[in-house]
Every structure is written in C-alpha cells, then in structure tokens.
Amino acid sequence: MLVITTPTGQIGSQLLAELLNAETQPLRVIVRDPSRLQDTVRDRVQVIAGSHDDPAVLDQALDGAQGLFWLVPPSMRARSAEEYYLSFARPAAAVIRRHQVGHVVGISSAGRNWPHPAGLLSAAHAMDAEFERSGAAYRSLGMPFYMENLLRPLPQMTSEGVLSLPLNPDRPLATIATQDIAATAARLLMDRTWEGTGQIPVFGPDRLTPNEMAATISDVLGSQVTFEQADLEQQIASMIQRGTAEGMAHDFAGMYQAQQNGIYDADWSRSTPTPTSFRTWCDTVLAPAADDVV
C-alpha cells in the first residue's frame, strides 16, 4: 500500500496518474475535499478524508502502508514557514514510526547544506530532519525554482509584456518542471530497494538567466515579454497587503535572497538533468495557460 498526500495538487495529481497507470500496487490518498478527485481516480483508490497534519487522519491512512509520498501544502497565512512545516512533519514522523512505514519520499528544497538562513527553503530542510529521525528510509527530493511558479505572473506577461521577480536578471536560475518531480517520486515509490536517508537533487536541463527565460517566453507566446527585477522590499510589502502573514512574507524574502546568492549551485553541479527543458515546458504548459488568460 502506497499513501499519497496532496493528490489534487500540481505534483500529487501527476504522481497519482503515473502510479495508477503503472497498476503495480494499491493506493490510498489523503485529501481534504474528496469531491476534488476525479471520478475515475476516486474509484481506483482508497480515500481518507482530512488533513495530513492531523495525527488521527495519519493513523488511519498509514495503517499497513509500505510507502508514503509527502508534500506540505502551501499556506500564505502561517506566521512562520518553519513552524508551519514542522506542524505537519512532527506528527507524521511519530505516526510513521508507530506504523513502521518502510519508505517515505518528501518534496523539499535543494541547498540543504547552505550555511545561512533561507526562509521557506530552511523550513523544508527542517522537515527533512524530522523525517530522517522517523526510522523510515527517506528520500528528500531537492528542487530549485518551479517552472510552474511562472503561471502566477502570467496575466502580467500577457497584458503588460513584463515578467517581474526579485531575482538577478543575468544570474542563471535553476528550474524544474513538476512533471519531472512527479516522475522521480513515482520511480522511487515503485522500486523501494533503497535504504537509509538522503537527498536527491532534481533539476531541469537548462542554465538560463531570467532574461533568457523571458526571451524564450516571448518566442513561444509570439509577443514581447521583458524581465524586470522587482524590488524585494516592495514585493514583500505587496504580499502582506494582499493578505500574506508578515512572517511568511519575510520567509519568502529569505528564499529569494538565498536564490540570489547561489543556494542551488552545489546541488545543481551534481544533479542528473531531468528531461523537460524550459522551452518544452513553455510550449506544453505555459502557452496553453496563456490562451486561457486571453
């Protein structure tokens, strides 16, 4: 039995589809709102309704489980990213230990050995440490910047021709497509011959700067998109104005600063590139999404 958290999210839904297509073992999902599952999925999995920060829900879901896919869902209302991540990880580690779950694959961040605070990324690393003490074989998937993050500023790209992020326009930015994250997690969950704990860096094949990414987007969309480096303080103030908790907004600032300063570089140099290039992602994901915006 494999247990999947966040089965309706960007990564979890793609992972679930891969595991269902493989038809190798029974699947159980933890989902807040079972109605969000497609009927074709709901009929083929065991459904546990609830949140995976609830020990009672985890107790029910992990009974008899051999493997677990773990992802902490995003929250802009949490006072602290680390407090929020650990509110999920600590009860989970206890239930994993109690049910002797053999293997856990967790969605985390690259750059774990970074010696400085890194906001949201440090919170993910704190989660990893909890799971490494759970007794399960644990693989943390260390990711850089998600290509899917660019779907949020897509309306500004299509209406104003601007991609704005608080990042250096000329510094290469490591990226990854969520479909490649899901594929990596699926391989680990279906072939659980690995032991111990460790992190696997999961990076896309490109070494593009934000300026070069904007040029690729322009080419794919057929309209000019220019990258502009956003002011970090203004970005954080805007997030707070839109309802993000102040502590979480500052944790995002810590993440952006770490990305600017090279937190991904060491893992980038030792990673095996995943298949999906930035251009392919733009063709298959960004462009169709832009059609919907227009």
Q: In this model, does residue 293 exceed pLDDT 90?
A: no
In this prediction, residues 254-283 reach a mean pLDDT of: 97
Span 139-163, average pLDDT? 97
**pLDDT of res. 172:** 97
Rounded average pLDDT over 40-51: 94
The 10 Å CB-count burial string (b at 16+, else e) for 205-236 is: bbebbbebbbbbbbebbeeebbbeebebeebb
| C-alpha dihedral sign at 21, 25, 30, 33 | positive
Q: Each residue of 215-228: pLDDT tens digit? A: 999 999 999 999 99
Question: Mean pLDDT score of the chain, rounded to an integer?
Answer: 96
185 band by pLDDT with thresholds 50, 70 and 90: very high
Q: Distances from the Cα of 240 to the Cαs of 3, 25, 163, 248, 253, in angstroms?
A: 35, 44, 20, 9, 12
Cα 124 to Cα 42, 78, 239, 255, 270: the distances in Å are 30, 14, 21, 11, 20
Pick the closest to residue 278 from 188, 176, 194 (CA basis).
Answer: 176
pTM for the whole structure: 0.96
Mind listing the pLDDT tens digit for each residue in 118-135? Answer: 999 999 999 999 999 999
- At residue 292 the predicted structure's pLDDT band, cuts being 50, 70 and 90, is confident
Specify whether the CB–CB gap between 84 and 78 falls below 8 A. yes
Positions of E strands within the chain: 2-5, 27-31, 46-49, 67-70, 103-109, 137-143, 145-146, 162-165, 175-176, 197-201, 226-229
Using alpha carbons, select from 62, 289, 261 the residue that is nearest to residue 166: 261
Please check whether residue 184 is in contact with residue 226, taking contact to mean a CB–CB distance below 8 angstroms.
Answer: no
- Determine the Cα–Cα distance for residues 118 and 116; give it in Å rounded to an integer: 6
Q: Stretch 82-89: mean pLDDT, rounded?
A: 98
pLDDT of residue 154 exceeding 80, the answer is: yes
Say what the pLDDT of residue 62 is: 98
Residue 294 has pLDDT above 70, yes or no: no
pLDDT in tens, 197-251: 999 999 999 999 999 999 999 999 999 999 999 999 999 999 999 999 999 999 9
Is the domain 2-147+175-201 a CATH 3.20.20.70 member? Answer: no
